[in-house]
Amino acid sequence: MSGNVEVLVGTLSDLKQVETAQGTKEVEDIQDRAKWSWLRLHYGRSIDDEIKQTVEARKAELGLKVSSVVLDDMVTRLIRSDAQQRELQYIVVDDIVKGVATTKHLLIPPEQVLEAAGEIADTQGLLLTEQEGLAGLVSTEKEVAGIQIGFHIYPGDILTRKAISVSSFARTIMCTNPLTWAGIGNFQKFGLGKTHERVLRIERRAELRPRLEKAITGSREILGKLEELIDKSKHTPVNDREAKAILTAFTKAYGIGLRPTEEVIQRLTVEPKSTFGMAQAASWVARHGERWKKPTEGELPHAKQSMAVVGAASLLIDDVQVTYARALEWLRGKFPEKQPEWLTP
């Protein structure tokens, strides 16, 4: 993460003031996502429905700024009430609060995670390298039928939105298209497992190195299973309609926009009609896709990494018909204004 990062511990006395043990700290702004997290930490997830209903009710009145105004009003109401505020951690980047966490949450800068991973790799005789489009570091250990496989260290996000994880990694040698299982948990709603990812919930800094070392060792031990998975995917047929619906559901679930999703759908025409072909289409767009929203300068490449995860998720499909049915069910109502043309029968 670029910019000056500071963590404040305290309570809000205003929308732009954090009361800490060292005194009042002024901030320039609080991101809407951080405000929503703040409300959840005080009211629980049940507040989500109230926020959504209020936003919907005030759309006509407030226009495009409706979410910000509603969140401001709800946060201000609690600040000015007699209710006891929780002491929280406020992650401030360039004077803007971008994340909120409980005081129990250990915030480890990503660079410290990668430094520890590098030291572990050295002791095991491994080479960790950067991979275009992915946050973190990868190590490729063996080659199977034109595909290199290994593991991926994802260092997490100090904003607490993404956890530290160690997962399997694969790359097609000819096109250098990446596949990563870092974040595969988002697809459990479609019946896919998390076999190839180990999420690390670190509660004490001293746990970081031993937990990383154990996860890396474990990831190296399942490379044989990864070979079997890739081979099976090459012989798991999928028709055009199934592939389009499943990939649309996967990308939508991961917050990927329709423009890069459309690139994946177009790429399907030159890939094999199999779950392996689906994976190749998504990983090709992860590497070569052009229709992405321009990232903020200094941001980690989460967008393209998300597409690499979509490709990896495709390799986990065991029963195409079951996944297709779940994808259709999940997609129902997800495009209230206009459904993508490729989903129209």
- The neighbouring-strand residues paired with 90 are 8, 100
Residues 6+ apart with CB under 8 A from 49: none
How far CA 163 is from CA of 44, 173, 300, in Å, comes to 20, 29, 14
What percent of the chain is predicted at pLDDT more than 70? 94
How far CA 211 is from CA of 103, 118, 123, 207, in Å, comes to 21, 14, 15, 6
How far CA 231 is from CA of 2, 175, 191, 236, 264, in Å, comes to 40, 18, 20, 9, 22
Chain-centroid distance of CA 276 in Å reads: 22
Residue predicted with more confidence, 339 or 296: 339
Residue predicted with more confidence, 28 or 106: 28
pLDDT tier, 161 (very low <50, low <70, confident <90, very high otherwise)? low
- The neighbouring-strand residues paired with 6 are 92
| Residue bearing tokens 């790799």 | 121
**pLDDT 10s digits, 61-72:** 888 788 999 999
**pLDDT 10s digits, 256-284:** 889 899 999 999 999 999 999 999 999 99
Mean pLDDT of 182-195: 85
CB–CB of 120/137 below 8 Å?
no
What pLDDT, on a 0 to 100 scale, did the predictor assign at position 157?
76
CB–CB of 286/308 below 8 Å?
yes
What pLDDT, on a 0 to 100 scale, did the predictor assign at position 147?
86
Mean pLDDT of 79-91: 91
What pLDDT, on a 0 to 100 scale, did the predictor assign at position 300?
45
- C-alpha 216/C-alpha 150 separation (Å) is 10
Average pLDDT over the chain reads 88
What percent of the chain is predicted at pLDDT more than 90? 51
CB–CB of 184/313 below 8 Å?
yes
Residue of 324, 122, 117, 131 lying closest to 241 (CA atoms): 324
CB–CB of 3/94 below 8 Å?
yes
Residues 6+ apart with CB under 8 A from 308: 133, 134, 178, 179, 180, 282, 283, 286
Helix ranges restricted to H, the chain: 32-43, 47-57, 59-62, 66-80, 110-123, 208-221, 223-233, 240-253, 258-267, 275-288, 302-314, 320-331
What pLDDT, on a 0 to 100 scale, did the predictor assign at position 191?
87
- C-alpha 41/C-alpha 19 separation (Å) is 17
What pLDDT, on a 0 to 100 scale, did the predictor assign at position 71?
95
- The neighbouring-strand residues paired with 100 are 90
Domain residue extents for the chain: 5-102, 110-223, 240-343
**pLDDT 10s digits, 200-246:** 887 788 888 999 999 998 888 888 888 888 999 999 999 999 999 99
pLDDT tier, 296 (very low <50, low <70, confident <90, very high otherwise)? very low
Residue of 242, 250, 233 lying closest to 318 (CA atoms): 233
pLDDT tier, 290 (very low <50, low <70, confident <90, very high otherwise)? confident
CB–CB of 233/279 below 8 Å?
yes
How far CA 96 is from CA of 11, 16, 25, 42, 312, in Å, comes to 15, 9, 12, 21, 34
What pLDDT, on a 0 to 100 scale, did the predictor assign at position 108?
82
| Residue bearing tokens 């509660």 | 203
What pLDDT, on a 0 to 100 scale, did the predictor assign at position 234?
93
pLDDT tier, 328 (very low <50, low <70, confident <90, very high otherwise)? very high
What pLDDT, on a 0 to 100 scale, did the predictor assign at position 143?
84
Among the listed ranges 18-32, 133-147, 277-291, which one has the minimum average pLDDT value? 133-147
Q: Is the pLDDT of residue 96 over 60?
A: yes
Mean pLDDT of 111-117: 90
Query: Which tokens sit at 267?
Result: 């790429």
